[in-house]
Amino acid sequence: MRHYVGGGFDASGVPFPLVDPVTGRTVGEVPAASRELVDRAVGAAREALRGPWAGWSPAERSRALHRIADGIEGRFEEFVAAECADTGKPRALAATVDIPRAVANFRAYADLLAGRSERSWHTGTPDGRGALNYTVRKPLGVVAVVSPWNLPLLLLTWKVAPALAMGNTVVAKPSELTPSTACLLAEVIAGAELPADVFQLVHGQGADAAGQWLTEHPGVDAVAFTGESRTGSAIMRAAADRLAPVSFELGGKNAGLVFADADLERAVEGTLRSAFTHSGQVCLCTERVYVERPVFEEFAGALAAGAKDLAGYGPMISAAHRDKVLGHLDRAAADGEVLAGGGVPSFGDARDGGFWVEPTVLTGLPEDHPAVREEIFGPVVHLAPFDTEEEALALANAGPYGLAATVWTGDVSRAHRVAPALDVGIAWVNTWNLRDLRTPFGGVKASGIGREGGDHSLDFFSEPMNVCVKL
């Protein structure tokens, strides 16, 4: 594990342990960046803005992004192995979602950039000769990218790709729990024929460490962050002192609505995916499901049976996170009903030292219960009945978060009526996590600021400038 600063790899810094969440064993060490190394990374990135990178055309940057995508594809199995080792997620998930999506992130922004145009206007003037107004997009400058542990490469590249596409330089800090694929990405970028110092990578913790030093740095012009809402608030306060723009994708307590006219088999299958993919450690996962009363018992029984039969799920990312999830389950078991799971699985092998929690289905808790209102970020879903469409919307829209929601119904009119009425950034109807990378992605309320995806990301990572030429 190494930093990538000033065009070279650097292993300096006090090491901290890298732990395998599957077994709980320490499997390596990661160097923590010093404040001086963070300063050097930001300084190198700022210097690169004035170098050859400034003269690269959009077409050249587009080709560079494709070279990075080629590099990831060329080392596909290394990336899959590293992602699985850090997160404990099943290989099938990393190989079909995380690594392919990282490749797609670079290709999508490369293609968008190559086909992008800006508007121009011919403006009338008193002398009749007119003027030409057109827009020029300029990079923001040095962008700090701070990415989380649940989808390490996917969410890192989701920001790095558009930032580079628009001519910025990047200093990235991955989660201290999942640094491996970021190191591999640095190696790929180092070999992708970009100008020196366009990309920097530093490792370390968040508070009073590399994360805080980077996001507070006066040489950083913008911050793109995915993570929990409290950390986003702290970064926003730091960025406010220098009026730096921020893009945040934060927490969620996502709701699912199941109406009696839905295809219940499809709704159960979809909810098993939306609740338990990566053991619930995805910001888009469903943690509370409201089911129309006539089908509540049938749905609850089928979902609980499905949860008990789930195989191939992974552990929590850390002992601390496992204990947080289990604390929620202990309180929920005392106050409500556990339909499935609720404890720690036993394997009879090395996995018993890891950070595992059973897929859990709860019911019977009041809406103000912590397990219903607070983001758990684990394999836990709570079920509750509703009687009317209005009640369903009120329940789904309650609470501080507003990232995503699912609607399961066979009534197309209801689908178009209910989905836009949800206070979220994205609503899926009769599906979950079906993404088009050109569409806006982000949340409302405590779930984030701004939108990522397609032109929305390219617009964030650039500053529009108007040029007016008198004719």
* pLDDT tens for each residue of 165-213: 999 999 999 999 999 999 999 999 999 999 999 999 999 999 999 999 9
Q: In terms of domains, do 243 and 162 share one? A: yes
| Model confidence pLDDT, tens digit, residues 127-136 | 999 999 999 9
Q: Determine the Cα–Cα distance for residues 21 and 154; give it in Å rounded to an integer.
A: 19
| Model confidence pLDDT, tens digit, residues 457-467 | 999 999 999 99
Q: Which three-class secondary structure state does DSSP give residue 121?
A: strand
Q: Closest Cα partner for 328 from 269, 287, 384?
A: 287
Out of 84, 183, 216, 283, pick the active-site residue.
283
pLDDT, position 178: 98
Q: State residue 153 phi and psi, 5-degree precision.
A: -80, -40
Give the chain's end-to-end CA distance (angstroms, integer). Answer: 58
Q: In terms of domains, do 320 and 389 share one? A: yes
* 441 within domain boundaries: no
pLDDT, position 468: 98
Q: Closest Cα partner for 397 from 417, 414, 421, 377?
A: 421
Q: Determine the Cα–Cα distance for residues 271 and 381; give it in Å rounded to an integer.
A: 9
Residue 445: C-alpha distances to residues 250, 364, 403, 432 (Å): 10, 27, 8, 21
Q: Closest Cα partner for 182 from 155, 207, 206, 162?
A: 155
Dihedral (CA of 213, 218, 222, 228) sign = positive
DSSP string across 210-270? HHHHHHT-TT--EEEEES-HHHHHHHHHHHHTTT--EEEE----EEEEE-TTS-HHHHHHH
* 385 within domain boundaries: yes
Task: Give the mean model confidence (pLDDT) for residues 229-238.
Answer: 93
pLDDT, position 436: 96
Q: Which three-class secondary structure state does DSSP give residue 109?
A: helix
pLDDT, position 243: 94
Number of domain units in the chain: 2
Q: In terms of domains, do 239 and 207 share one? A: yes
Out of 83, 249, 358, 375, pick the active-site residue.
249
* 114 within domain boundaries: yes
Q: In terms of domains, do 272 and 351 share one? A: yes
Q: In terms of domains, do 87 and 205 share one? A: yes
Give residue 90's pLDDT band: very low, low, confident or very high (50, 70, 90).
Answer: very high
Structure tokens at 471: 């004719």
Q: Determine the Cα–Cα distance for residues 372 and 399; give it in Å rounded to an integer.
A: 9
* 340 within domain boundaries: yes
Give residue 405's pLDDT band: very low, low, confident or very high (50, 70, 90).
Answer: very high
Q: What is the CATH number of the domain that holds 269?
A: 3.40.309.10
Q: Please name every residue paired with 17 in a beta bridge, in sequence order, or none if there are none.
A: 29
| Contact (Cβ atoms closer than 8 angstroms) between residue 244 and residue 60 | no
Q: What is the CATH number of the domain that holds 46?
A: 3.40.605.10
Computed over every residue of the chain, the mean pLDDT equals 97
Give residue 305's pLDDT band: very low, low, confident or very high (50, 70, 90).
Answer: very high
Which residues form the domain of 238? Answer: 3-250+447-470
Residue type for position 370 = P
* 118 within domain boundaries: yes
Q: Determine the Cα–Cα distance for residues 340 and 361; give it in Å rounded to an integer.
A: 5
**Element (DSSP H or E) covering residue 3:** strand 3-5
Q: In terms of domains, do 457 and 428 share one? A: no
* 415 within domain boundaries: yes
DSSP code for 436: -
- For residue 11, the tally of other CB atoms under 10 A from its CB is 12
Give Cα 66 to chain centroid, integer Å. 22
Task: Give the mean model confidence (pLDDT) for residues 430-450.
Answer: 96
DSSP string across 302-371? HHHHHHHH--S----SSHHHHHHHHHHHHHHHHHSEEEE--S----SSGGGGS-----EEEE---TTSHH
Q: In terms of domains, do 288 and 156 share one? A: no
Q: Determine the Cα–Cα distance for residues 195 and 386; give it in Å rounded to an integer.
A: 58
HSE (side-chain half, CA atoms, 13 Å) at 165: 31
Does the active-site annotation cover 283? yes
Q: In terms of domains, do 208 and 316 share one? A: no
pLDDT, position 288: 98
Report the predicted TM-score, pTM, of the whole model to 2 decimal places.
0.96
* 442 within domain boundaries: no
Q: In terms of domains, do 454 and 369 share one? A: no
Task: Give the mean model confidence (pLDDT) for residues 105-119.
Answer: 94
| Model confidence pLDDT, tens digit, residues 338-354 | 999 999 999 999 999 99
pLDDT, position 4: 98
pLDDT, position 112: 96
- Long-range Cβ contact pairs of 371-375 (< 8 A, separation 24 or more): 371/328, 371/329, 371/331, 371/332, 371/336, 372/288, 373/253, 373/399, 373/400, 374/253, 374/328, 375/228, 375/251, 375/252, 375/253, 375/287, 375/401
| Model confidence pLDDT, tens digit, residues 31-48 | 999 999 999 999 999 999
Q: In terms of domains, do 224 and 272 share one? A: no
Helix axes 99-114, 152-165, angle to 10 degrees: 10
pLDDT, position 133: 98
Q: Determine the Cα–Cα distance for residues 11 and 18; give it in Å rounded to an integer.
A: 15
Q: In terms of domains, do 266 and 246 share one? A: no
| Contact (Cβ atoms closer than 8 angstroms) between residue 102 and residue 153 | yes
Q: Closest Cα partner for 282 from 92, 152, 181?
A: 152
Q: Determine the Cα–Cα distance for residues 142 and 39; give it in Å rounded to an integer.
A: 12
Q: In terms of domains, do 152 and 287 share one? A: no
